[in-house]
Amino acid sequence: MTAEQMIRARSAEWRELEALLSSIGGELRRSATNLSRFAALFRNVGADLALARAQGFPEELTEYLNSLAARAHNRFYVSPRQPLGQIAAFFRRKLPLIIHRNARYVVIGMLLFFGPLLATVGLSRSNDSALFAIVPKSMLSQFERMYKKGHAAGRPESLDAAMTGFYVFNNVGIAFRCFATGVFAGLGSIFFLLYNGVVLGAVTGFVSTTPSATNLLSFIIGHGPFELFAIALSGGAGLRLGFGMIITGNRRRRDSLRDAAVDAVQIVLGAAVLLLGAALIEGFFSPSSLPIWLKFAFGGVCVLFLTFYFGILPWFVARAAGELRRQGDGLVLGGGALSIVGAVANLAAYFAEAGATHFAIWSAVGLVGVLLTLGGLRRRRAWLR
């Protein structure tokens, strides 16, 4: 075949491919007919280019075919754009489903973080010497002085944006350590969850015994739920990563680690969104001069959102997807949510110096949550599979 014969025989298909490249835009993969025809024309122009090069056809023809093949290749293999709908679908369905699949790691992460936090908060009221042995008194006194003034007059608006950037950097650093060190068989995540829980609990408990208690509570109640839960969630993702190296089931260690990394990274993405939200709240809302009751109300809404999104929604999404195979899943998620609600409510009551009745009610709620969680884990049998 000569170059002239090729042009006469194939030019119609070349023009058709050019027309498809100009008209289909982003609709290529949405139309089965277009996709099938495009693939056939793409293969043919590739064969024509190979023949033209082998036969030494004129350079103009070879360059034309090469350009046409390259354009078709780039269009055919280009990654589909991520519309807002897919992002929404990730947070509406995919992330809750991943949380459900890895509920055990999320629950363990919460227990390792919130357990020491609440324990050291209680220790601050009963044994000062033990508290100072854990965290130096000079460090705790510095935090007490920091919140002595309060935020009744608000903070200069010029500082809000700068402080928000600082909060993002600081919070992401803490969460990243809780997550990334999980690669060491989960030991790093366990350490940083325990360490941060102890330090935050010591600071919170110590300041709560000083005149700065109300100022501290009014500042942290807005962003605290998102920030603290994100740290625990990051630690849970680190545990998922670390345990994926140890508990492989019947898979190769490499395959187990790869699957664990996919889940862990997506969990961390959810934690990152929470940390960004916490930083914005901490930068603009928490230091404002708004009334304390409004800040409490906002903090309560945040707790309810976390309870629904991470404690209730995953169960419904898993049931809709047909993945609610193990009967204990609902108990684990629901019990974990109740435990968080009870712990946060008791912490707020502790600062507000509420009566014994309040403590008794929310302690009972938290205890029921713990019992439900343990019962669910027991019913799931191979829960560390």
**pTM assigned to the model:** 0.66
pLDDT for 130-184, tens place per residue?
A: 778 777 878 778 777 776 766 655 555 555 555 566 666 777 788 888 888 888 8
The region, left, alpha or beta by phi > 0 then psi within -120 to 50, assigned to residue 313 is alpha
Average pLDDT, the chain: 78
User: Is the C-alpha dihedral spanning 251, 336, 122, 363 positive or negative?
Assistant: negative
* Same domain flag for 72 and 91: no
Domain contains 385: no
**236 has a pLDDT exceeding 70:** yes
* Same domain flag for 371 and 269: yes
CB atoms within 10 A of CB 380: 19
Q: Tell which of 20, 55, 77 closes a domain.
A: 77
Q: Tell which of 50, 77, 104 closes a domain.
A: 77
**Residues sharing a CB contact under 8 Å with residue 223, sequence separation 6 or more, in sequence order:** 278, 279, 281, 282, 285, 286
Contact 314, 320 (CB under 8 A): no
Position with higher pLDDT, 135 vs 240: 240
* Same domain flag for 262 and 166: yes
Domain contains 170: yes
Domain contains 102: yes
* Same domain flag for 53 and 169: no
* Same domain flag for 154 and 10: no
Q: What does the alpha-carbon distance between residue 14 and residue 293 come to, in Å, rounded to a whole number?
A: 71
Tally of structural domains, the chain? 2
* Same domain flag for 25 and 163: no
Domain contains 67: yes
Domain contains 292: yes
pLDDT for 75-122, tens place per residue?
A: 776 655 556 777 888 888 888 888 888 888 998 898 889 888 888 887
* Same domain flag for 168 and 292: yes
pLDDT of residue 384: 42
Which of 16-30, 126-140, 281-295 shows the lowest mean pLDDT across its residues?
Answer: 16-30
Which of 157-166, 273-282, 338-347 shows the lowest mean pLDDT across its residues?
Answer: 157-166
**48 has a pLDDT exceeding 80:** yes
* Same domain flag for 357 and 340: yes
CB atoms within 10 A of CB 108: 22
* Same domain flag for 161 and 245: yes
Model confidence at 355, pLDDT cuts 50, 70, 90, reads low
Could you tell me the residue range of the domain that residue 71 belongs to? 3-77
Domain contains 140: yes
User: DSSP labels for 313-359?
Assistant: HHHHHHHHTT---STTHHHHHHHHHHHHHHHHHHHHHHHHT--HHHH
Q: Tell which of 49, 77, 105 closes a domain.
A: 77
Tokens 């015994």 correspond to what residue?
209
Domain contains 68: yes
* Same domain flag for 135 and 30: no
Domain contains 384: no
* Same domain flag for 239 and 179: yes
pLDDT of residue 253: 79
* Same domain flag for 216 and 271: yes
Model confidence at 381, pLDDT cuts 50, 70, 90, reads low
